[in-house]
Chains A and B, each alone.
Chain A
């Protein structure tokens, strides 16, 4: 029966009868609707028939999404008074809405992923990130001048994926060249207590997430903001461990001078953004990979963050279930 409806609608849109029905519906629904949705039935026959035979649920989902995005603004207002860190780190209604939209865009729509997005959003606005960006911009200008290259201004990007559409890093500093290459100048991975070991191990191997990011970028390329860079066009190399005087593991943020000094080539800084309560043992593991990994402790209290995440998750969940 479904097939018959589809075929009939498809065919009838092209007939005189179809045109007569269309005129009739304009009379029934009035000029306002007619102006709003005026269309040539015969041109849209396939779509109308498809819709008639099988309704498109995905669009409904998008409308739900729109509603929740709208709700996100109210959610922000209700939480901002209770959690001053939101304003401290310049989170606003818009960024909250975008965060929720990203959760809804993801497969499974797990609210667990809110945690990563939250840390990423807060991480964008901590002083360390600004200083990193300034230092990378200095390095970029220096490279352009010394090598007569045309690298674009260093900037932060998120939502980066590898060539197989898997996420790569939480926040990256990148610079693009007119010749089609992208230089990944820094990769920031945000971690919480539950997954902080990802920074230092992958299964049984002492290869942390940054090294996996590096390997995937080198073999699969990267995509962001609608553009894909093939593997051979991705410039990404860990800063040599020896470049930092203190060894591989960097227990705190580097100074701008340190960064500028060690970024003497097309290198990439690897940074882990994790709770300040990380144990000495876990911190020590970071150094065992043989690469240089910088550790940025969360500037906010873990308990407060946990409470905030719980409240936010509950609010979003409520909006979704309404």
Chain B
């Protein structure tokens, strides 16, 4: 499956990814303290395997898609749960929700707090393109996003250096081979891309179900 995914990239895209990983990630790996148990395996693998970057890249693509889709599924579940919470799908239906306002534009006799809450409800409608996108999101979307968001070497370096190496150790400490390490790293970057997309468009006033998030975190902890 992973090899099929990476073949979805053009040779030049694949080359860009490998170059970025080699230039952005390798120095960090090389600087890992050899005496620290979590870093030893990774550093030894990197130093001893000439195909490390290629294998890591295969895993990265696989992980990116998985992380991206995990985040998208969470977002979609929360979005639709929120619509259900406000009655869409039970009394008016999603289509109708996006066609007409649920609430009068200026209801009379309400206090400012109530008007504000109603206005938030109505503004959900503005996110129609997001819901449509979430409805259609799948592997193809994930790969399309990956193609457009292959980090350049300096971008990758910037993120990795900023993040420091603790998370990297935590991330890769349990991985047994280069591809698994790539998968773990890619999963984080896929999730990261999705969260940045989400953070950029989702109004802060819209909540999402914490319980779903907690389930997701528990699942990811198991994976690690």
Residues of chain A whose beta carbon lies under 8 Å from any beta carbon of chain B: 1-2, 4-5, 7-9, 11-18, 20-22, 24-26, 28-30, 32-34, 36-37, 39, 41, 44, 47-49, 51-52, 54-67, 69-71, 73, 92-95, 97-98, 101, 322
Which residues does chain B contribute within 8 Å of A21, judged by CB atoms?
A: 149, 192-193, 196-197, 200
- A contact face: mostly helix, strand, loop, or mixed: helix
Closest to B124 in A: A63
Q: Which residues of A contact B199 (CB under 8 A)?
A: 9, 13, 41, 44, 47-49, 51-52
User: Are B85 and A63 in contact, with the CB atoms below 8 A?
Assistant: yes
Residue of B82, B114, B148, B192 near A101 (CB, 8 A) is B114
Residues of chain A with a CB closer than 8 A to B192's CB: 5, 8-9, 12, 21
B79-92 interface bits toward A, Cβ cutoff 8 Å, 1 = contact, 0 = none:
00110011100110
Residue in contact with A62 in the complex, picked from B120, B129, B204, CB distance below 8 Å = B120
Q: A33 and B129 in contact (CB under 8 A), knowing A15-B158, A25-B201?
A: yes
Contact assessment for A29 and B162 in the assembled complex, using a CB-CB cutoff below 8 Å:
no
The answer to the question of B198 belonging to the interface, with a C-beta cut-off of 8 Å to chain A, is yes
Chain A contacts for B162, CB-based, 8 A: 11-12, 14-15
Task: State the interface size on chain B (CB cutoff 8 A).
Answer: 70
**Chain B, 111-143, CB within 8 A of any chain A CB:** 111, 113-114, 117-118, 120-121, 123-124, 126-127, 129-130, 133
Measured CB to CB, the closest approach of chain A to B6, in angstroms, equals 20
Task: Assess whether B50 is interfacial by the CB under 8 Å rule.
Answer: no
Contact B110 A63 (CB under 8 A): no
Q: Are B195 and A56 in contact (CB under 8 A)?
A: no
21 CB < 8 A contacts A-B: A2-B217, A4-B171, A11-B159, A18-B196, A20-B155, A21-B149, A24-B149, A26-B200, A29-B133, A36-B127, A36-B203, A41-B196, A48-B200, A56-B208, A56-B210, A59-B207, A63-B85, A64-B86, A66-B121, A69-B118, A94-B108
B114 touches A8 (CB 8 A): no
Within 8 A of A (CB), among B183-213: 188, 191-193, 195-213
Is B151's CB within 8 Å of the partner chain A? yes
For the complex, give the distance between the alpha carbons of A98 and B115 in Å: 11
**Chain B proximity of A130: nearest CB distance (Å):** 20
Kindly state the separation between the CA atoms of A37 and B91 in the bound complex, as whole angstroms.
28
- Are A62 and B207 also in contact (CB < 8 A) when A24-B149, A322-B90 are? yes
Q: How far is the CA of A132 from the CA of B180 in the complex (A)?
A: 78
Interface digits, B209-224 against A, CB 8 Å rule (1 contact, 0 not)? 1111100010011001
Q: Which residue of B lies closest to A38 (CB)?
A: B200
Contacting A at CB under 8 A, from B143-200, are: 145, 148-149, 151-152, 154-156, 158-159, 162-163, 167, 170-171, 188, 191-193, 195-200
**Interface contact A33-B127, CB-CB below 8 Å:** yes
